[in-house]
Amino acid sequence: MPRPTKPRWVEFYPDVTYFKPAGTPMSDLDEIALGVDEFEALRLKDFVGLEQEECAERMNLAQSTFQRIVTQARTKVASALVQGKAIRIQGGNFLVSPRGYVCQDCKQEWVSQSPGDTYSVCPACGSEQVDVFRKVPTGPPRRGRRGMGGHGRHRRGAGRGNERT
């Protein structure tokens, strides 16, 4: 049985979620659905210009999973452009990343309780010197290559004193 898909973290939910070729009636168009997580992968990599490793970290994914998502998204967008199809951004397995804040005066940090919350004044000292940052989601450690060496594969029991000789 495969593992359940872990939700991807997105920092930006688009206001505009539908794009269509000009001059073609809606009734004549085919659509391609682009998931919100795929849209976020394109935004981080191609629009913001981050390195793949940082994109994966911000979406709380393994780097290989991020690569698969961004490749799939690029294929869908290219297909829509070449074949004259509409693009609808909707769905996907995602959570909106909480927004973090830090006060420049007292160095207090806090995280919004819901995606729509915004703060312009520090709740601890009342200062208006508040900066916004995105909190990197915490969760169980990702499986994969990081910290394992080689290709991320190991023998059962390796590293626990059970090495085969």
Other CB atoms closer than 10 Å to residue 36's CB: what's the count?
20
- First-to-last C-alpha distance (Å) of the chain: 33
Q: Give pTM, 2 decimals.
A: 0.65
Winning range, highest mean pLDDT, from 24-33, 66-75, 87-96 = 66-75
Determine the Cα angle at 37 with ends 31 and 140, to 5°.
155
Does residue 73 register a pLDDT over 90? yes
Nearest to 134 by CA among 9, 21, 38, 8: 9
pLDDT reported for residue 130: 85
Whole-angstrom Cα distance, residue 3 to residue 45? 26
Mean of pLDDT values over 13-21? 91
Contact (CB, 8 A) for 100 and 138: no
pLDDT band at 142 (very low <50, low <70, confident <90, very high): very low
Dihedrals φ, ψ of 94, to 5°? -145, 160
Site of tokens 């601890």: 124
Does residue 32 register a pLDDT over 60? yes
Element (H, E) at 75: helix 63-83
Q: What is the mean pLDDT of the chain?
A: 80
pLDDT reported for residue 132: 75
Higher pLDDT residue, 134 or 31? 31
Contact (CB, 8 A) for 20 and 88: no
Site of tokens 């059970």: 162
Does residue 69 register a pLDDT over 70? yes
